[in-house]
Amino acid sequence: MPSTSRRRAWLSDYTWPLGYVAVIMFLFLLYQAILPNLIDEVSGPVAAWLPVATINECLMWAIMALGLNVVVGYAGLLDLGYVAFWALGGYTAGWLMAAPFNWSWNFHLFAPVAETYPGTHITFWLVILIAGCLCALLGVVIGGPTLRLRGDYLALVTLGFGEVITQFFRNSNDIDGYNVANGDAGIPIIDPIGLGPFSLIKGVPASLTNSGSDNIYKILVLGALLGLCLFVSLRIRGGRLGRAWLAIREDQLAASTMGVSLVRSKLLAYAVGAFFGGIGGVANAAGITGAVSPSGFDFSKSVLVLLMVVLGGMGNAWGVTIGAFLLAWLNSNGLRQIGVAVGAASGKNLEAVLPRYNFLILGLLLVLMMLFRREGLLPEKRTKALMTMPSRIEMESVGAHIAEAEAKTKAFTESTSDADAEIAASASAVSPHLEPPPERSARSVKDTDR
């Protein structure tokens, strides 16, 4: 029995990365080699319903959703200000890999831009790491004061922090006279993603701009980042820290009396979640938008990521990834395309209408999900158990209090009947006003026996 389960664990341990790589490679090859060689009737709809840019966005959002899943799904800490990390990640890219907006000091580190180009230019791959660490630090800073809070209060405070970060960047053109992040205008041209040694392979460009042909390679780049986040999510979940998070989610008080440090575990959850958020932020700034501005980092993005986590299946990395893909697709291309299709059938032009109502539609989707499938699309098995089955104690406790009371009374009368006489006798000896009725206690035993 243990040997088969261990073998199964081994299989799932090594099969999912292979499967994941296969899917990403398939997507890449589909757009790189297969679609261009197919007839328009086939390639046209595929490009319309699932363009490369949308796939990239989906991959980026999935990274974000996985990050929030660590905080909300694993550790059970509701975070409504997750956009803060996305923003800080984006701005880290803005600071470290863009043309200067305020200072003119030049620093190049493996960047895919000309040496003469002014400003700080560090390669995407290093910036990801820096942004991740910076966000993890911010996660700890934000997490610190909220450690004592739970539920509604935690949600409100994190929401506040999310807004604070956005407002900070909005007003960042004049922080005590310094232009820190160029305020409302944002930081426009962010360096493309450099591919370093991979560009030696024939046909691979040296860097990835936002042109359609380069976008295909971003499937690989973002796919690799998402793969890394998935890997970390799944591995960490199965270990000592993952267990501690689950225990905190279940019963914080019991967890702490069992030796789990609430402070450490919660801060680590915030840090890991924020690290992913930082990666997502850089991926978005350098890979998707090519610029950062405060208007992109509003509260609705926090809600969107939370929706992905909830709809996908809180706590399950795969479910969350699927939720992110679905919602990111709907948001970026799906709704428009559905609008086109419905419009073609009804004779009205709905192409621009549906995307405008995206939050109405997503909200409706959420309501429907909560009514019919609360546990999410691909739930964790324990969440499913919680939502679909009452607990055994609960089921058995219907009427149990009566049986329990009877058992207790019986136990008491049985066990005390011998001691009772003694006690009563000694009690009557000291205090005569205490009723000492041995005959009554004998009768009561008979009563319960009947």
Size of the site for other proteins (CB under 8 A): 64
Report if residue 69 touches other proteins, rule: CB under 8 A. Answer: no
- We find the least distance from the C-beta atom of residue 248 to other proteins, in angstroms, to be 9
Interface of this chain with other proteins, residues 267 to 326, rule: CB under 8 A: 268, 272
Closer residue to other proteins in complex, CB, 268/326? 268
d(CA 310, CA 318): 12
Closer residue to other proteins in complex, CB, 367/389? 389
Among 80, 260, 286, 305, binds other proteins (CB under 8 A): 260
Backbone torsion region of residue 107, taken as left when φ is above 0, otherwise alpha when ψ lies between -120 and 50, otherwise beta: beta
Stretch that binds other proteins, among 20-28, 138-146, 157-165, 417-425 (CB under 8 A): 417-425
Report if residue 441 touches other proteins, rule: CB under 8 A. Answer: yes
- We find the least distance from the C-beta atom of residue 63 to other proteins, in angstroms, to be 16
Closer residue to other proteins in complex, CB, 41/418? 418
C-alpha distance from residue 250 to each of 195, 244, 256 (Å): 44, 10, 11
Report if residue 190 touches other proteins, rule: CB under 8 A. Answer: no
Report if residue 258 touches other proteins, rule: CB under 8 A. Answer: yes
Closer residue to other proteins in complex, CB, 202/450? 450
Stretch that binds other proteins, among 79-87, 123-131, 174-182, 254-262 (CB under 8 A): 254-262
Report if residue 3 touches other proteins, rule: CB under 8 A. Answer: no
State phi, psi for 194 to the nearest 5 degrees: -80, 145
194: helix, strand or coil: strand
Backbone torsion region of residue 124, taken as left when φ is above 0, otherwise alpha when ψ lies between -120 and 50, otherwise beta: alpha
**Element containing residue 319 per DSSP (H, E):** helix 317-329
Report if residue 251 touches other proteins, rule: CB under 8 A. Answer: yes
Report if residue 261 touches other proteins, rule: CB under 8 A. Answer: yes
- We find the least distance from the C-beta atom of residue 310 to other proteins, in angstroms, to be 17
Beta strands 207-208 and 193-194 are: antiparallel
**Element containing residue 108 per DSSP (H, E):** strand 107-109
Stretch that binds other proteins, among 31-39, 90-98, 147-155, 442-450 (CB under 8 A): 442-450
Closer residue to other proteins in complex, CB, 209/252? 252
Contact predicate 398/390, CB 8 Å: no
Report if residue 210 touches other proteins, rule: CB under 8 A. Answer: no
Contact predicate 17/231, CB 8 Å: yes
Q: Which residues contact 190 (CB under 8 A, 6 or more apart)?
A: 93, 94, 97, 98, 285, 286, 290, 291, 292
DSSP states along 379-401: --HHHHHHHHS--HHHHHTTTHH
Report if residue 174 touches other proteins, rule: CB under 8 A. Answer: no
Report if residue 256 touches other proteins, rule: CB under 8 A. Answer: yes
C-alpha distance from residue 385 to each of 35, 318, 388 (Å): 43, 18, 5
Contact residues: other proteins, CB under 8 A: 231-232, 235-236, 238-244, 246-247, 250-251, 253-263, 268, 272, 382-383, 385-386, 391-393, 396, 404, 407-416, 419-420, 422-424, 426-427, 430-431, 434-435, 437, 440-441, 444, 447-448
